[in-house]
Amino acid sequence: MTRTAIQLYTLRELNEPLPDLLARVGEAGFDGVEFAGLGDADPAAVTDALDDAGLEAAAAHVPIGELEDDPGRVAREYHRLGCEWVVVPYLEAAHFESREAATRTARRLDELAARMEGHSTSLGYHNHDHEFASVDGETGFEVFLSESEVEIELDIGWAVAAGADPRSLLRSLGDRVPLVHVKDTHDGEPVELGDGDVDLTACVDTAKEVGADWLVYEHDNPADPLASLAHGAERLRELNG
């Protein structure tokens, strides 16, 4: 069975120490977490909290500037937590607005992936919706994917918001998509799982078919983070079979 995690950005409004958030995630029934920074948390305390909660570190979202400035430091910081995946969570629309821009972005991420690999760390890229802007009969994301070898954390909710078919993307990416963000959207905005336009069952089934290692729940702006945590865990368990 594919493992499940939550992107901790979902819980940022709780304003609790990271070890306390990890305890909540473990109680909710997830297998792991995806970090969105460590704040001022002591890595040793975070490691202990992961162990106490029975959680694995699936991945970490790290801004590209931080990764490029000191990839070794980032790798060491997250290796201490048992995390060997880092993901660039966001690049502005200008990086995908033309064929030239998307190609430059592809080269930049491939170079960064090689640097991270030198520190025994894998690199991924997480999409939003703006990557899918039309570029010469394709989308900026399609150009980027064709020019790059970097692995992808496909966010199915943002893909649907952009008018793309996440199942087709998952199949075309194949083993290049080890991490999948399970998100629902309606009219271009994130909503709770099951309240939006995403065919969650079909997408999760396809993610499992192509061999994704992790299904990562995320809600960018939940009205009630604790309720979203519980609901997301329950729905992901159901979808994961």
Q: What pLDDT was estimated at residue 27? A: 98
For the stretch 162-173, pLDDT in tens is: 999 999 999 999
Pairing, β 56-61 against β 85-88: parallel
**CA torsion, points 142, 146, 151, 156, in degrees to nearest 10?**
20
Helical residues (DSSP H) of 80-155, grouped into ranges? 99-117, 140-147
Residue 46 above 80 pLDDT?
yes
For the stretch 189-223, pLDDT in tens is: 999 999 999 999 999 999 999 999 999 999 999 99
- Give residue 111's pLDDT band: very low, low, confident or very high (50, 70, 90): very high
For the stretch 25-45, pLDDT in tens is: 999 999 999 999 999 999 999
Q: What pLDDT was estimated at residue 1? A: 76
Helical residues (DSSP H) of 17-124, grouped into ranges? 18-28, 43-53, 64-69, 71-79, 99-117
Triad 177, 180, 181: Cα angle to 5°: 150
For the stretch 112-163, pLDDT in tens is: 999 999 999 999 999 999 999 999 999 999 999 999 999 999 999 999 999 9
For the stretch 75-87, pLDDT in tens is: 999 999 999 999 9
Instruction: Decide if 6 contacts 229 (C-beta within 8 A).
Output: yes
Tokens of 210: 């192509």
pTM: 0.97
Superfamily for the 3-240 domain: Divalent-metal-dependent TIM barrel enzymes (3.20.20.150)
Burial bucket for residue 228 (CB in 10 Å: 0-12, 13-18, 19+): buried
